[in-house]
């Protein structure tokens, strides 16, 4: 019988690894060619891994929550017809566990070593030959579970692997007396948390509902906190008259959709103005690496999008300055549509050099967005509203109804001063206000 190795496929130039979030097929299941076998997740995008062949899944080499490198074999599929024979590996006592056993129970090896030999809790758990996923290792580290304790846990995963539920159950039921002879001082030292890092206690009443964050929300939370801790955020605001843009879009949106097969929204018009302003002020198209400033060659605009589940994702329009309005509209609609459908590829969210977020979609007049690291600027587009405004004419000033909006520019004050940050958002406003109401499609 032929055996096919299902490998983690390449998902983009900048994506080197992914986490297995769910197995859609179990050992023994029949698989058709192009049928999804498992679900994986990168930093922001969830996707499926299909089988290249038809056959029977005979082995899963990784478990849920395991981190896998691109190109690694993740499953074995039998491709020829025949009865399924499960693969059973002979259980071999790992050397690492044997060494721990000697320390804990010297009689097992005939040694006279003391039972009280301390176990190094600073270990990264690489001493154990038992397979441990990154998630299990992190939980063990946070809870002060030693290598020897892990070795003693009876895993319920494939081939006895310790799963997330296994270690959480162990921690829950663990008594004050450790499973091995470990000095109390060492345990306290390993799990001690500085008082400044401890979260404030949260009061929970009987009617409150406790919901664990999903994987993406945990990542977003981490990114947001890290961004605020990394950059010195400062904002500049400017009001923009977009009456000409509103009039032009109303006049051309039907013809545009009929000709191009694409809806004409305001977003590509704003993106076009931002790309032009970045060419005028390349100091906004940089990133920071320690004490070094990296000037980006390409202008890749991130477009923040809210997903149906409430999470946020930022697909990227590559080389945005090279697109005309039609090309920009197609790119915006393509990325936005695939984001809502959960069809983005990992590479679609990589390589951004500046980000735009439309807070006006939800009715906000303006906002103060957090930087998308390692970028140094992000622009928030406020809601377009009809406003009374002073209109200057050769015959004098008068009050008229205009379509206006606010632009909120957040930037990294470590490398972008007020002059650059303010001048940049002012240039975006100038491009928008100068929009030709008679412009051809």
* Active site amino acids: 413, 417
Contact 377, 371 (CB under 8 A): yes
Q: In angstroms, how far is the first alpha carbon of the chain from the final one?
A: 60
Torsion angle (degrees, nearest 10) of CA 30, 33, 39, 41 = 160
**Residue 321: closest CA among 360, 353, 286:** 353
Contact 133, 144 (CB under 8 A): no
Bridge partners for 390 per DSSP: 399
Contact 187, 144 (CB under 8 A): yes
At 218, which helix (H) or strand (E)?
A: helix 215-230
For the stretch 152-183, what's the b/e string if a residue is b when 16 or more beta carbons lie within 10 angstroms of its beta carbon?
A: ebebebbeebbbbebbeebeeeeeeebbbbbe
- DSSP characters for 405-418? EEEEEEEETTT--H
Q: Residue 286 is encoded by which pair of tokens? A: 């940089």
Name 107's Cβ contacts closer than 8 Å, sequence gap at least 6: none
Q: What is the CA radius of gyration of the chain?
A: 29
Contact 412, 233 (CB under 8 A): yes
């Amino acid at each position: 019988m032929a055996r096919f190795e299902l490998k983690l496929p390449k998902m983009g130039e900048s994506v080197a690894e992914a986490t297995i979030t769910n197995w859609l097929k179990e050992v023994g299941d029949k698989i058709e060619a192009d049928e999804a076998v498992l679900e994986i997740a990168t930093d922001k995008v969830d996707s499926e891994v299909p089988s290249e062949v038809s056959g029977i899944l005979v082995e899963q080499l990784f478990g849920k929550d395991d981190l896998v490198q691109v190109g690694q074999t993740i499953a074995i599929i039998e491709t020829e017809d025949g009865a399924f024979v499960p693969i059973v590996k002979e259980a071999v006592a790992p050397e690492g566990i044997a060494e721990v056993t000697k320390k804990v129970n010297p009689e097992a090896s005939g040694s006279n070593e003391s039972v009280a030999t301390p176990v190094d809790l600073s270990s990264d758990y690489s001493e154990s030959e038992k397979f441990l996923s990154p998630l299990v290792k992190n939980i063990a580290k946070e809870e002060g579970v030693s290598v020897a304790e892990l070795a003693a846990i009876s895993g319920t995963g494939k081939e006895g692997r310790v799963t997330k539920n296994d270690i959480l159950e162990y921690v829950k039921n663990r008594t004050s007396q450790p499973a091995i002879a470990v000095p109390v001082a060492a345990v306290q030292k390993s799990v001690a948390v500085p008082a400044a890092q401890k979260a404030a206690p949260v009061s929970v009443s009987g009617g409150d509902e406790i919901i664990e964050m999903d994987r993406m929300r945990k990542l977003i939370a981490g990114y947001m906190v890290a961004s605020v801790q990394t950059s010195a955020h400062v904002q500049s605001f400017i009001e923009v008259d977009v009456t000409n843009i509103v009039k032009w879009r109303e006049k051309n949106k039907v013809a545009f959709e009929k000709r191009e097969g694409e809806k004409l929204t305001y977003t590509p018009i704003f993106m076009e103005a931002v790309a032009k302003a970045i060419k005028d002020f390349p100091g906004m198209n940089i990133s920071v690496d320690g004490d070094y400033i990296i000037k980006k060659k390409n202008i890749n605009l991130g477009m923040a999008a809210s997903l149906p589940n409430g999470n946020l994702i930022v697909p990227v329009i590559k080389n945005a300055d090279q697109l005309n309005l039609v090309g920009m509209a197609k790119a915006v609609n393509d990325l936005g549509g695939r984001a809502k459908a959960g069809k983005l590829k990992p590479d679609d969210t990589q390589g951004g050099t500046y980000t735009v977020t439309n807070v006006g979609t939800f009715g906000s007049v303006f906002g103060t967005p957090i930087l998308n690291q390692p970028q140094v600027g992000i622009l928030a587009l406020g809601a377009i509203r009809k406003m009374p405004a002073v209109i200057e004419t050769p015959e004098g000033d008068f009050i008229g109804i205009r379509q206006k909006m606010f632009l909120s520019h957040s930037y990294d004050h470590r490398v972008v001063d007020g002059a650059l940050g303010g001048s940049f958002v002012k240039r975006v406003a100038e491009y928008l206000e100068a929009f030709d109401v008679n412009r051809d499609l």
